């Protein structure tokens, strides 16, 4: 019985020693997240447009929407020239049901009744002339656009801005790590691990078609600036 207890004590002691040894062998490190931002003027604009048509039959609604979409696309392509492109982004055809005023009852059940069909054709426009977006919107409205989605501005090539933001994030991470090491009275060693999370923050505008169509002047749109932000997570070994 005593030998069994002795064996158990020896096993527990071995586990404790192994745990302590593992703890001593675990790397000592500091992890920080550096943030870098690059702010600049956008050189690309995009917006979504749509035409809609409602008719008694699905065929008639589809044909009317197709005619309006062709007119809209032709006007946009003429306005853009070589500085942009137009492409179809969505199409939808759905029935319109009669709205019943009364409530259904066992002797008078309500049955959905189709009274018309609505077809919509959506297009996405990209333009390299960010200062001409207002005029482009006016062209779309006068050419039959029934809906205009968010207008956004971005960078055509975000690579250079991202690289500059990455350098700023690296400097920020290094400064944070040095400050923490000084506070803890330790010395920084080599970088053990690094990873990035980056993104460009586009600028968006939303405005109703009715408000824009009522204005005699060109729709005012101010591009503003685009912010490219990089978050750099760095783990430093310490001594």
How confident is the model over 107-159, as pLDDT tens digits? 666 678 899 999 999 999 999 999 889 999 999 999 999 998 888 899 999 99
Choose among 222, 221, 225: nearest CA to 200: 225
222 vs 84: which has the higher pLDDT: 84
pLDDT at 26 (0 to 100): 56
CA distance 174 to 166: 12
Residue ranges of domains in the chain, CATH in brackets: 28-41+156-202+225-239 (3.30.110.170), 44-99+108-154 (3.30.70.2970)
Helix 58-80, helix 133-142: angle, nearest 10: 150
Can you read off the two tokens belonging to residue 52?
């809609």
Enter the tokens of residue 41: 């003027």
Residue 149 CA to residue 120 CA, distance in Å, equals: 14
C-alpha–C-alpha distance, residues 89 and 103, integer Å: 39
Find the DSSP H helices in the chain: 2-25, 58-80, 133-142, 159-184, 209-213
The closest alpha carbon to 232, from 29, 34, 24, 9, belongs to: 34
Dump pLDDT digits (tens) for 149-194.
888 899 999 999 999 999 999 999 999 999 999 999 999 999 999 9
Residue 94: Cβ within 10 Å count: 12
pTM: 0.68
Candidates 122, 151, 154, 121; CA nearest to 136 is: 151
192 or 103, which is more confident: 192
CA pseudo-torsion sign 170, 171, 172, 176: positive
Using the predicted structure, report yes or no on whether residue 213 has a pLDDT greater than 70: no
Give the pLDDT band of residue 63 (cuts 50, 70, 90).
very high
Mean residue pLDDT of the chain comes to 82
pLDDT recorded at residue 123 = 94
């Amino acid at each position: 019985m005593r030998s069994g207890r002795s064996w158990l004590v020896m096993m527990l002691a071995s586990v404790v020693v192994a745990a302590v040894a593992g703890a001593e062998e675990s790397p000592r490190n500091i992890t920080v997240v550096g943030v870098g931002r690059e702010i600049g003027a956008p050189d690309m604009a995009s917006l979504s447009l749509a035409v809609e048509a409602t008719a008694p039959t699905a065929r008639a609604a589809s044909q009317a929407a197709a005619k309006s979409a062709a007119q809209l696309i032709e006007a946009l392509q003429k306005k853009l020239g070589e500085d942009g492109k137009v492409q179809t982004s969505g199409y939808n055809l759905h029935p319109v049901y009669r709205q019943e005023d009364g409530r259904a009852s066992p002797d008078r059940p309500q049955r959905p009744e189709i009274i018309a069909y609505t077809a919509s054709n959506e297009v996405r426009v990209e333009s390299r002339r960010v200062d001409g977006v207002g005029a482009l919107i006016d062209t779309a409205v006068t050419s039959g656009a029934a809906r205009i989605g968010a207008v956004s501005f971005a960078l055509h090539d975000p690579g250079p801005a991202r690289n500059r933001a990455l350098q700023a994030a690296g400097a920020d991470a290094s400064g944070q790590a040095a400050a923490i090491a000084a506070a803890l009275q330790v010395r920084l060693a080599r970088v053990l691990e690094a990873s990035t999370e980056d993104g460009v923050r586009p600028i968006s505008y939303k405005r109703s078609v009715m408000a824009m169509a009522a204005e005699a002047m060109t729709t005012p749109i101010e591009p503003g600036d685009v912010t490219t932000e990089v978050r750099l997570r760095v783990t430093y070994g310490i001594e």
